[in-house]
Amino acid sequence: MAVAEDLEVSRFLREQPKKLFIGGRWIESASGKTFDTLDPSSGEVLAKVAEAGAEDIDRAVAAARRSFESGVWRDLPPAERAKVLWRIGDLIEERALEFAQLDSLDNGMPINDALLFYVPLAAATFRYYAGWVTKLDGATQQVSLPGRYLSYTLRQPVGVVGQIIPWNFPIVMAAWKLAPALACGNSVVLKPAEETPLSALLLAELMQQAEVPDGVANVVPGPGETAGARLASHPDVDKIAFTGSTQVGKLIAKASADSNLKRVSLELGGKSPNIVFADADLTQAVSGAFFGMFLNQGQVCSAGSRLFVQSKVYDRTLEELVKTVEETRLGPGIDPVNQMGPVVSKAQMDRVLGYIAVGNQEGARVIAGGGRAKELGPGYFVQPTVFADVDGKMRIAQEEIFGPVVAAIPFEDEDDLIEKANSTIYGLAAGVWTTNVKRAHRVAHALRAGTVFVNCYHIVDPVTPWGGFKQSGWGRELGPQALDLYTELKNVILDIS
């Protein structure tokens, strides 16, 4: 284990292997198996982690079910539940440096991004949903039938919730899932991604410290094909919330249909258009094109990976973008001088390099990057890459690469643009850069995307509903909309005549 001893997080990492958190206890997996989680900047083992299999998922679901039926959490006075959630937010903030170091080491992300944006967003998400606990109100209905009736609605927790998350923003993904589910009184089994299980385990420690009752929040790292699949098809799980690829999202929906028709919400992939009109402030638009694409090494579901630029300013915009890319400092994320880190794994690096080869074969032109940053050693570093003169039908313009590769596509006018921008199977996000306010709204209305950023990109807050059109998913997380995902609406009708 090659982690520097002077990091704040070394104490947490010292205890090996990391165990599963089930029913309020830290336990080995039933099989005794562990897996290695790697530091992608070196390829070395960062930690050994107990590997949950189907039997462990069954144990975690049983613990969640017991806690749910006992009422220990769902029947707690709302203000008490709210205090616990608020306290989790506080504890995340107190341990912010450790979370940032863990996600930087495990995922590869720049430590400053983790510390300044992602960890605070995770804390803010718990606090935001702490505020909702006391406001899960129903309504009354005016019944027009003969006689007198009192009709009202209640919001009740769905029950046992399974949650499966990806590796790209580990602590943020865990918070987006756990906070609203717990706020609504559910009991949860969370399966983090195998590549990045560590910050969710630290979060489990803090949830226990904040006095989330035993069995209410269980954290079980393990492979998707076994642990994840068991959770998705488990007959005693009432709802599954999944974030990941569209391909696996379809398996989750099928597993629900083939088992107990558990409720399903899906936050899936994207191939988002980031659109620069000739009337945009080009300095802002170029930095938005860079940030929209290369944040977190492009491993962002909403990455602006199709950069549409109006022909009149196409050459100038790309020239400026290439300059910015070339000035970017690539290196291990844990070193605060670096602005971009490695991609998360060798498999991810091979996938991204494979797509760069596809782009070359398809006849697109590399104008920046275009390969592995070999000078940085054995870590999984891919140069930020810009393809120019991309045709919208090429695979690099249609398929989600999930790495630092942007496809620049010229367009002539608004009509031409809208058709091109909407022509993928995805509909997660989009960006529009223009100084014309009418155009901004017109285009925002016409784009088939769950979120449209105008003259900004990647602005995400606990209040902003998040999710996609088309094959980018089902449902909306964050905002009050997430409460719909984690509650059942019950109608009670009394004859009061």
Interacting residues with ligand NDP (CB under 6 A): 164-168, 191, 193-194, 223-225, 228-229, 232, 243-245, 248, 251, 267-270, 301, 400, 402, 428, 468, 473
Nearer to ligand NDP, 223 or 465 (CB): 223
267 is catalytic: yes
Using CA atoms in the order 358, 309, 324, 407, what is the torsion angle rounded to 10 degrees? -10
Taking the complex as a whole, how short is the minimal distance between the CB of residue 49 and ligand NDP, in angstroms?
A: 11
Contact of 182 with 82, CB cutoff 8 Å: no
Question: Strand, coil or helix: what is 224?
Answer: helix
| Pair 425, 471: CB distance under 8 Å | yes
Q: How far is CA 484 from CA 156, 219, 368, in A?
A: 10, 23, 44
Indicate the residue among 269 and 341 with the shorter CB distance to ligand NDP.
Answer: 269
- Of 155 and 306, the one with the shorter C-beta distance to ligand NDP is 306
Q: How far apart are CA 269 and CA 340, in angstroms?
A: 22
Residue with tokens 């420690």: 205
Smallest separation (angstroms) from ligand NDP to the CB of 442: 26
Q: Which is nearer to ligand NDP, 210 or 231 (CB)?
A: 231
* Residue of 51, 194, 195, 267 marked catalytic: 267
Closest approach, Cβ 350 to ligand NDP, in A, equals: 13
CB 187 within 8 A of CB 215: yes
Question: What is the smallest separation between the CB atom of 242 and ligand NDP, expressed in angstroms?
Answer: 7
Distance of alpha carbon 296 from alpha carbon 344, whole angstroms: 10
Q: How many other CB atoms are there within 10 angstroms of residue 403's CB atom? A: 25
Catalytic residue among 51, 98, 301, 320: 301
Phi-psi region of 475 (alpha: psi -120 to 50; beta: other; left: phi over 0): left
Q: Residue 200 and residue 221: Cα distance in Å, rounded?
A: 9
How would you class 145 by CB atoms within 10 Å of its CB: exposed for 0-12, middle for 13-18, buried for 19 or more? exposed
H-run or E-run covering 433: strand 429-433
Quick one: angle between helices 96-107 and 198-209, nearest 10? 160
The helix/strand/coil state of 362 is helix
Least CB distance to ligand NDP at residue 475 (A): 10
**Among residues 227 and 307, whose Cβ is nearest to ligand NDP?**
227
Pair of tokens at residue 312: 């009149």
Whether 456 is a known active-site residue: answer: no
Give whichever of 133 and 248 is closer to ligand NDP, judged by the CB atom: 248
Q: Please tell me the distance from the alpha carbon of residue 261 to that of residue 334, in angstroms, as a whole number.
A: 43
| Closer residue to ligand NDP (CB): 273 or 331 | 273
Measured CA to CA, the distance from residue 138 to residue 405 in angstroms comes to 47
Question: Which residue carries 């718990």 as its tokens?
Answer: 126
Q: Which residues are catalytic?
A: 267, 301
